[in-house]
């Protein structure tokens, strides 16, 4: 049966560890894998802009000996020019995997339902699983022992936050979240993450105070205050999120040496200051690079 990557929720701790182990091998000797996906192709259906996701999938697929086809919003016009069902059925006859970047999460589910090839969620309004996998992989690379380390996510309880919430407790990391009131992550995700944390002995905590959220953290993570599709709310959100900016003062509140993460693109001077994102603790570009290595592992697992 074909396997998709729609949400971190669907992955077991063992599957996650196996993706990370394969990523280690891919990073060590990329040339050893240069024919793993020979003659295979993926289609990238993107309804939103992208730098990292598109380029890392395309280059990653090339490095594995395969091919990728980018389909811009205008090209496929998903659900408008053609139904998601018909797009899924048609593309499944040509390619070996689909990556979808979309708005409503149900679009990913619909595509996966009708595609006969693996579907990878390349970001929906609800989740960003490839991002979270690359993030935790990066933390695992940087900290000698991630078990019981604490990642503090500060800002909007968005797609990236939801995916980190699903992943951290499964990977043995504590996750502390600081958002303004009314901008907390999805309640269902929070509940499930807490249940998972209970079984792995980790903690999931929610704060409405950024300094409390980052206290004793090993990693501080932030993302944009207005995600793609929320552009109209950007001005309003600027005021609401002001106190949640990751700046020198907030970083100091951690009370120890801390790693700085951001999924990018960053709005410098808004959710994060230049001196923090360019500062000594910042690992944002290692994080960005790892998108490609981790996704190569995902591609091999699903299409290989």
Q: Footprint of ligand NVA on this chain (CB under 6 A)?
A: 123, 158-160, 223-224, 227-228, 263
Of ligand CP, ligand NVA, none, which one sits near residue 152, judging by CB under 5 to 8 A according to partner kind? none
Of ligand NVA, ligand CP, none, which one sits near residue 51, judging by CB under 5 to 8 A according to partner kind? ligand CP
- In sign, the C-alpha dihedral spanning 251, 254, 259, 265 is negative
Task: For residue 158, state whether it binds ligand CP (rule: CB under 6 A).
Answer: no
Specify whether 101 is catalytic.
yes
Of ligand NVA, ligand CP, none, which one sits near residue 179, judging by CB under 5 to 8 A according to partner kind? none
Site for ligand CP in 131-150 (CB under 6 A): 131
Binding pattern for the stretch 250-289 against ligand CP, x by CB under 6 A and - elsewhere: -------------xxx------------------------
The CB-of-230 to ligand NVA minimum distance in angstroms stands at 8
The CB-of-288 to ligand NVA minimum distance in angstroms stands at 10
Specify whether 176 is catalytic.
no
Contact 2, 117 (CB under 8 A): yes
Q: Which of 130, 161, 168, 263 is catalytic?
A: 263
DSSP letter for each residue of 171-209: HT-EEEEE--TT-PPPHHHHHHHHHHHHHHT--EEEES-
The CA-atom distances, in angstroms, between 215 and each of 134, 161, 182, 233 are 24, 18, 22, 29
Task: For residue 47, state whether it binds ligand CP (rule: CB under 6 A).
Answer: no
How many CA atoms are closer than 13 Å to the CA of 299, on its beta-carbon side? 37
Q: Which of 105, 237, 291, 293 is catalytic?
A: 291
Residue in the structure block whose two tokens are 């200051």: 273
The CB-of-117 to ligand CP minimum distance in angstroms stands at 22
Contact 112, 6 (CB under 8 A): yes
Task: For residue 72, state whether it binds ligand CP (rule: CB under 6 A).
Answer: no
Residue 42 phi, psi (nearest 5): -125, 150
The CA-atom distances, in angstroms, between 145 and each of 131, 136, 232, 259 are 21, 12, 41, 14
Catalytic residues: 101, 128, 131, 223, 263, 291
């Amino acid at each position: 049966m074909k396997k998709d990557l729609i949400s971190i929720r669907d992955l077991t701790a063992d599957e996650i560890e196996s993706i990370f182990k394969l990523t280690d091998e891919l990073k060590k000797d990329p040339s050893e894998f240069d024919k793993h996906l020979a003659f295979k192709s993926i289609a990238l259906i993107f309804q939103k802009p992208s730098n990292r996701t598109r380029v890392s999938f395309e280059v990653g697929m090339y490095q594995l000996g395969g091919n990728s086809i980018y389909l811009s919003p205008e090209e496929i016009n998903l659900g408008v020019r053609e139904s998601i069902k018909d797009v899924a059925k048609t593309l499944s006859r040509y390619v070996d995997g689909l990556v979808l970047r979309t708005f409503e999460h149900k679009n990913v589910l619909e595509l996966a339902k009708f595609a006969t090839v693996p579907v990878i969620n390349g970001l929906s309004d609800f989740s960003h699983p490839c991002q979270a996998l690359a993030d935790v992989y990066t933390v695992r690379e940087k900290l000698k022992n991630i078990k019981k380390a604490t990642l503090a996510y500060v800002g909007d309880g968005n797609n990236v936050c939801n995916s980190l919430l699903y992943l951290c407790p499964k990977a043995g990391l504590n996750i502390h979240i600081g958002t303004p009131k009314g901008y907390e992550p999805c309640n269902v995700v929070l509940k499930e993450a807490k249940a998972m944390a209970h079984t792995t002995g980790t903690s999931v905590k929610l704060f409405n105070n950024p300094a409390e959220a980052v206290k004793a953290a090993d990693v501080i993570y932030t993302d944009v205050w207005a995600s793609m599709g929320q552009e109209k709310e950007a001005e309003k959100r600027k005021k609401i999120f002001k106190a949640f900016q990751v700046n020198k003062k907030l970083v100091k509140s951690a009370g120890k040496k801390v790693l700085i993460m951001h999924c990018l693109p960053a709005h410098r001077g808004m959710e994060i200051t230049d001196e923090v994102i360019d500062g000594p603790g910042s690992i944002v570009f290692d994080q960005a690079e790892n998108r490609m290595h981790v996704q190569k592992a995902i591609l091999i697992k699903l299409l290989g």
